[in-house]
Amino acid sequence: MTVGRHFIKIKIRMKRINLPTLIAISIISWIMVNMLHEIAGHAGLAYLSGLKIKAVNTTTAYLEVNWDNEIATNGFWKLRLFLLGGVFLNFISGLIGYLVLRYNQSLNPQMRVFLWYFASFSYTVILMNLVSAPLTGGGDLAEIINTLENKLLAKSLVLMGGMIFMILGYILIQRAFMVKIKRSKLITLTFIPVVVIIIIQSLSLIKSPFAYLPPTENHLLASVFAFFHFVIWATIVNIIPAPGNKHDTITILPGKSTLWIISGVIIAIFYIFIRGPGIGSFECHPSL
């Protein structure tokens, strides 16, 4: 009887979510998605196309290029590649994260949550660029559409693809991760990372030169537009969790991990105090 009681206590303890670990996983997930978008995506593909990178921070990549001269000489392809880079890298990396989550069932709870966040945050950023931004006339894909002759057709195709991606992507990611869990735990798993994203991204902009521009060019206000999409994601997951994984709930509720916590603190400091102000120089940026 004593052994049985000890076993029950251990099982209950394992089912608790360790908040510091969950916060650290949220920090690392978001920063990786952001870095892949801005650094590997926009800056990386621009560099591969032969353009010079002057600076990059948490909201933009700045190139040393006169676009009028570049377009007159080589056409729009480098501009389009630069603009498409962020979404493209988010799609490729998010797909890899989804496939690992879907087919590697031996992952520990921390890694499963990380991959779910990583795939879901990538999905949200992509969806924002495929649907919301083109509808409002902003964002990277909207700028690409403006370089095309048949803008209406291009916008329609992007929006149609975005709607398909919105439904299919959500179902696939959720069914690869989600199991039936208590509502309180689901709220914790979804809204804690959203709060973390809002805080960490806002803090990164405190010393950014783009946080104090007029409203139409203010990157902090633009970030609020992005935050809105993550709130919607968390809300929808709680309304339609779409469970499909057969694992016990223990496998998706992260316990304490000192390694994740320490890594989260270090990466957050780098993101806020180094990447936030910017790596490189934004001198002569047209918005400043």
* pLDDT given for residue 38 in this prediction: 97
Q: What local confidence, expressed as pLDDT, does residue 2 receive?
A: 45
Q: Hey, where are the domains in the chain?
A: 36-269
Give residue 9's Cα distance to chain centre.
37
Write the pLDDT tens digit of every residue in 60-92: 999 999 999 999 999 999 999 999 999 999 999
Tell me how long the chain is: 288
For the stretch 135-168, pLDDT in tens is 988 889 999 999 999 999 999 999 999 999 999 9
Q: So what's the pLDDT on residue 248? A: 53
Q: What is the pTM of this model?
A: 0.92
Secondary structure (H, E, C), 266-285 = HHHHHHHHHHCCCEECCCCC
| pLDDT for the residue numbered 8 | 41
- Residue-level pLDDT at 1: 45
43 within 8 A of 282, measured Cβ to Cβ = no
Q: With a cut of 70, list the residues of the chain below it in pLDDT.
A: 1-15, 245-250
Instruction: Report the side by side order of strands in the sheet with 52-56.
Output: 61-64, 52-56, 279-280
Give CB contacts under 8 A, 24+ apart, made by 114-118.
Answer: 114/25, 114/28, 114/29, 115/177, 116/173, 116/176, 116/177, 116/252, 117/25, 117/26, 117/29, 117/30, 117/193, 118/29, 118/32, 118/33, 118/93, 118/94
Q: Which residues contact 46 (CB under 8 A, 6 or more apart)?
A: 53, 61, 63, 78, 81, 82, 85
